[in-house]
Structure 1
Amino acid sequence: MHAERSQEAASCNGLVKIYWTASGEVHALKGIDAVFPSRSVTAVVGPSGSGKSSLLRILAGLDLATAGAVTIGGTNVAGAKARALRKVRRRFTGYVFQRPSDNLIPYLTVEGHMRQAARLRRTKLDSNSLLEQLGLQGRARHKPDQLSGGEQQRLAFAQAVVGNPYMVVADEPTSELDSRSAAALLETVSSLTDLGVSFVLSTHDPEVVKMADRTLHLRHGALEAESHEMRTLSVIDHSGRIQLPPGALELFPDRRGVIQVDSEGVRITPP
């Protein structure tokens, strides 16, 4: 485990991601500011094309931001070279793909996956206790095709936390699972935060949102709101812009509003 782990696993400030296509620029992320605490679960929600996958890939060290600052485990990875990114992935982050089988190697046993993860992370491994914690202790000699989908995904998370990375990022981890397997996986994720790991999960699953410590709401590449303990806060960026939720946006068909500031607060009303 990292000796002096801070309360902050990762953060991003003014995060921008632009993709260049044949038809022009695609602004996938537009100035995202967010902090990801250690020992916590953050759900990332939003419609398709909202920027969830782009955010997760940058946090996992699989992609670089176009602009802005990204800090993982106290290390600024913005603009990092390929070698430096590999080091980040090996020491600081883990990534779990959406489909359970995409995370595993067909010819390796459960124990073999754990040994390989320890070798790549250059760390010692107590696989027995971790597999017992995840309910896989009786499956150590089984290969992926001998495991259920839920067991495969639990194994994916098990190898992702080997070496106690600061953060594990997972793309729709429950989408390929039945409700029972999904519930078991979420219990696993919750228990693994005791290791000091921060989990960031993109999802459309309300059960994931329910168990998460907080939820980031993305829309059109911007951070629209942040939910925490049954309270939702709208996000105001550095320029003073605020993104209205879809229900409120319908009240402004002309995209114009009157802003009133007084001793009681701030009100935005249609003209």
Structure 2
Amino acid sequence: MHDGERVSAPAGTVFRLRDLGVDYHPPTGTVTALDAITLDVPDRGITVLAGPSGSGKSTLLRVLGLFERPARGTVTFGGTDTGRLGHAARRALRRDRLSQVFQNPLDNLVDYLTVAENLRAAADSVRTRCEPAELLEQLGLDGTGGWRISALSGGQQQRLAFGCALARGSSVILADEPTSQLDDGSAELVLETLRVLAERDHAVVVAAHDDRLIRLGDRIARLRGGTLQEVEDRA
């Protein structure tokens, strides 16, 4: 068990944010990136953080990924108050429960390993095992296990990145604009992968301004200027 105070969380909630604020301190003065964010994130399905560039989506995703500590408010993850965790405990919680998929497909993978080796390395990172052939079939990438990463299209690379999250057994998957650098055909591969993940009872949180991703969400949290404007439930 990770250290940190356990708090009551509503059933079916993985993240509970209360009055969250994040400030940055450049030489020109304090900049508030997020202010007074109160939000519950369900423990399954797709939650989309929607809004224009500069609205605070990526900052909020970094907070959820335990990479950024808020200046104000509380963040509980699975009932644990993450503000009370030390660096090592946050890193362990991130390793054991979270996976992150970045915008650039190649940032998510080890380019000198084969497709199957990337999946095995992901599983090894949390001291578990996976069956690459089985995962690749589920992802529509069967037959590519021996391929180098460079042989995959951008959409296939992003699919594999989500596959690495499955190989790690992560209960929560965070994705920052995962279709932003893809053409329409490749983006559709990613959308289909997200549908599969949601059906497997993972909690997927996606930062997006892509309308196709927004339409896919079960819960849409709309941000503007660092504040939460509305939350729409579609489930």
- Scaled by the length of structure 1, the TM-score of the pair is 0.79
Once residues 74 and 109 of structure 1 are traced to their aligned partners in structure 2, the CA distance between those partners, rounded to angstroms, is 38
- Does structure 1 retain, via aligned residues, the 8 Å contact 2:115–2:146? yes
Q: Indicate yes or no: 2:197 matched with 1:192.
A: yes
Deviation for aligned residue 1:180: 1.7
Q: Distance in 2 between matches of 1:52 and 1:189?
A: 18
Quickly say closer, same or farther: Cα 1:71–1:165, change in 2 above 3 A: farther
- The answer to whether 1:13 aligns with 2:7 is no
1:83-137 Cα deviation digits (max 9, x unpaired): 1121121111111110111111110111111111111122232332221110112
Shift of 1:218: 0.5
Structure 1 runs (4+) deviating above 3 angstroms are none
Letter aligned with residue 75 of structure 2: V
- Contact kept, 8 Å, 2:217 with 2:234, in 1: the verdict is no
Q: CA deviation at 1:79?
A: 4.5
| Distance verdict in 2 for CA 1:157–1:57, change over 3 Å | same
Once the two structures are TM-superposed, the CA of residue 82 in structure 1 deviates from its matched residue by: 1.8
- Counterpart of 1:30 (choices 15, 35, 54) is 35
Q: TM-score, normalised by structure 2?
A: 0.90
> Residue type matched to 1:110 in 2?
V
Aligned position for 2:135: 130
- The match for 1:78 is 83
User: Which residue pairs with 1:164 in the alignment?
Assistant: 169
Structure-2 change in CA distance of 1:161 and 1:77 (3 Å) = farther
Q: Which of 221, 226, 243 in structure 1 is aligned with 2:226? A: 221
RMSD (CA atoms): 1.6
Amino acid at match of 1:83: A
Instruction: State, as a whole percentage, how many aligned pairs show the same letter.
Output: 40
Conservation of the 8 A alpha-carbon contact between 1:72 and 1:166: no
Is the Cα contact below 8 Å between 2:49 and 2:205 reproduced in 1? yes
State the 1:73 CA deviation.
2.5
User: Structure 1 residue 109 and structure 2 residue 114: aligned?
Assistant: yes
Secondary structure at 2:88 match in 1: helix
Letter in 1 for 2:215: K
Of stretches 60-69 and 90-99 in structure 1, the one that deviates more from structure 2 is 60-69
Change (3 A) 1:37 1:31: same
- Count of aligned pairs between the two proteins: 225
Post-superposition Cα deviations, 1:163-201, rounded to whole Å, max 9, x if no partner, equal 332311111001111112211211111111233211111
Q: Determine whether 1:42 maps to 2:42.
A: no
- Which secondary structure state, in structure 1, belongs to the residue aligned with residue 119 of structure 2? helix
* Pairwise CA distance, 1:161: 2.7
Partner residue of 1:208 out of 202, 213, 226 = 213
